Amino acid sequence: MSDAMGNAVTPALQLVNVSRHFIQGDNQISILDEANFSLWPGETVALVAPSGSGKSTLLHLAGLLEHPDEGDVLVDGESCGNLPDDRRTAIRRSEIGFVYQFHHLLPEFSALENIMMPQLISGLPMPEAKERAEQLLDYMRIGHRADHRPAELSGGEQQRVAIARAVANAPLVLLADEPTGNLDPETAGYVFEALDALVRQSGLSAVIATHNHELASLMNRRVTLADSKVVELS
């Protein structure tokens, strides 16, 4: 891919001939077999595939939470497949944001503090972390809930806090695994709209696994998993 000036553009995320196998009894089960995938800067890709097809495994590999058995994962052009764990952790912390079906917020901290936490871990001064957290809460339209702990928030509010936390460190790539799967349809639609607007406004690249074909149709591209490969959907 090239930009408007004709210069080559580096994918934000790339899987190159990635394979991942699991042993079950005497059998080897291939989740991915020489799979290839590129995520370009600023685009949103829906990952639409049945449960058990390997969506979570693909996201874990893309997010450097697992190592591929073969092949490589590149983040902004950097080969990550054989990097030492400390370097993989550093890339994951600075370049990749995660959103899960369940919010995994820290229950003893407020919404504001949950969003500040990854920024503080990355070394951002507290005043700056607090200001960015407040901006993200306002953007997600829950600034008035900043001082509430997760147990005091609705499911949709909790997930919006989780999304804000995932992008707090301005990552290059956002990976979301069924981010609205635990919500009722109306709340899911609202949360997805907030997520989509945040991704597009910030210029993030995002892979979002979802069973919701209506939500998937709003993204730039749709892919699925078939025969252990990543396959484009029309």
Residue 7 has a pLDDT of: 53
Residue 197 has a pLDDT of: 80
192 located within any domain: yes
Question: Residue 145 is part of which domain span?
Answer: 41-69+78-232
11 located within any domain: no
Query: Which DSSP helix (H) or strand (E) runs through 95?
Result: helix 85-95
Cα-based torsion angle of the residue sequence 124, 64, 51, 233 in order, rounded to the nearest 10 degrees: 100
Q: Which residue has the higher pLDDT, 200 or 223?
A: 223
118 located within any domain: yes
Q: Is the pLDDT of residue 4 over 50?
A: no
Rg (CA), the chain: 18
Average pLDDT over residues 198-209: 85
5 located within any domain: no
Q: Is the pLDDT of residue 203 over 50?
A: yes
Q: Is the pLDDT of residue 119 over 70?
A: yes
- Residue 8 pLDDT grade (very low, low, confident, very high; cuts 50, 70, 90): low
Closest CA to 71 of 228, 232, 210, 192: 228
Instruction: Report pTM.
Output: 0.87
**Highest-scoring range by mean pLDDT, 19-23, 98-102, 106-110:** 106-110
Q: What is the 3-state secondary structure (H, E, C) of 41-82?
A: CCCEEEECCCCCCCHHHHHHHHCCCCCCCEEEEEECCEECCC
Furthest CA-CA distance within the chain: 56
Residue 5 has a pLDDT of: 44
- Residue 194 pLDDT grade (very low, low, confident, very high; cuts 50, 70, 90): confident
Residue 169 has a pLDDT of: 87
- Tell me the pLDDT tens digit for each residue of 29-46: 888 999 999 999 889 999
In CATH, what number is assigned to the domain containing residue 157?
3.40.50.300
115 located within any domain: yes
- Residue 128 pLDDT grade (very low, low, confident, very high; cuts 50, 70, 90): very high
8 located within any domain: no
- Tell me the pLDDT tens digit for each residue of 38-93: 999 889 999 998 777 788 899 999 999 989 999 999 999 999 988 888 899 889 88
Task: Give the total number of structural domains in the chain.
Answer: 1
171 located within any domain: yes
- Tell me the pLDDT tens digit for each residue of 133-190: 999 998 888 899 999 999 999 888 998 899 899 989 889 999 998 887 777 887 788 7
Q: Is the pLDDT of residue 123 over 60?
A: yes
29 located within any domain: no
